[in-house]
Amino acid sequence: MPNPAPQSRAPERYNGASYRDGIERVFSPLELLWALIGLVLTIGATWLEAFVVFIDTPWTSDAVSLQLYSLKVSFQVGAVLLTACLGGARAGAMAQIAYLTLGLFLLPTVGLPVFTQGGGLDYVREPSFGYLLGFIPGAWMCGRLAFQESPKLETLAYSCLWGLGIIHVCGLVYLVIASLGGWLKAGIEPFWTLVLAYTVLPLPGQLIGICAVAVMAFGTRRLLFY
């Protein structure tokens, strides 16, 4: 008997539902929500100065006063790491990709600054741009380490340390390449002055900020049971 002819299949057509299913397999709705929250936090924290609070109780008085001490840094890096600790690697990285996209391409066209010194494509000539680029891999690594086990303070702090380290490594590498390539803006300080301004001096305040991020992330994840 002759073999039956193989049945031909109709070509697959575009299906909106299958497309949405594919998107959800890549990014869950919860990750998209955390990415949006992280974007808002990063933009807002850019101009939010980080500080610590001390309770002052003089021996000669029963009055209690609160003393605020500035850490000389913004809470921007803290917002990046907090998003990663709460939303995970993909949400953290996606929030920072959106942040850079808004700052370089979208919001400058309507006159809204996103970065500390404005925005637009010309911002790649700023010495701090390499640190902004480092937000993406730093957030990804921080989020990946933060979700390898159930939340613990030491684990979250460790993941934040990795994220902060990657941010500074990216920033320093960018400074070296930009200095050698000569594309930094005219009038920029010498290389070692930039290293001092963008890595050495902010680092102590950012390390203290990591402690706050770890505590906030630990409390939030315990409260939300994940």
Q: Is residue 218 scored above 60 in pLDDT?
A: yes
pLDDT digits (tens, 9 = 90+) for 60-111: 555 666 777 778 889 999 999 999 999 999 999 999 999 999 999 877 677 7
Q: How far apart are CA 182 and CA 194, in angstroms?
A: 14
Q: Is residue 193 part of a domain?
A: yes
Q: Where do the DSSP E strands lie in the chain? A: 49-56, 65-74
> How many other CB atoms sit within 10 Å of the CB of residue 26?
8
* Structural domain includes residue 11: no
Whether 3 is covered by a domain: the verdict is: no
* Domain limits for position 58: 25-223
Contact of 34 with 95, CB cutoff 8 Å: yes
Give domain status of residue 194, yes or no.
yes
Q: How many CB atoms lie within 10 A of CB 44?
A: 12
Q: What is the pLDDT of residues 16-48, one digit of tens each?
A: 444 444 444 577 999 999 999 999 999 999 988
pLDDT (tens digit, 9 = 90+) per residue, 125-178? Answer: 999 999 999 999 999 999 999 999 999 999 999 999 999 999 999 999 999 999
Is 10 within a domain? no
Taking each helix axis from N to C end, the angle separating 153-181 and 129-146, rounded to the nearest 10 degrees, works out to 150
Q: What is the CATH number of the domain that holds 170?
A: 1.10.1760.20
Model confidence, pTM: 0.84
Q: How many domains would you assign to the chain?
A: 1
Q: Does 138 reside within a domain?
A: yes
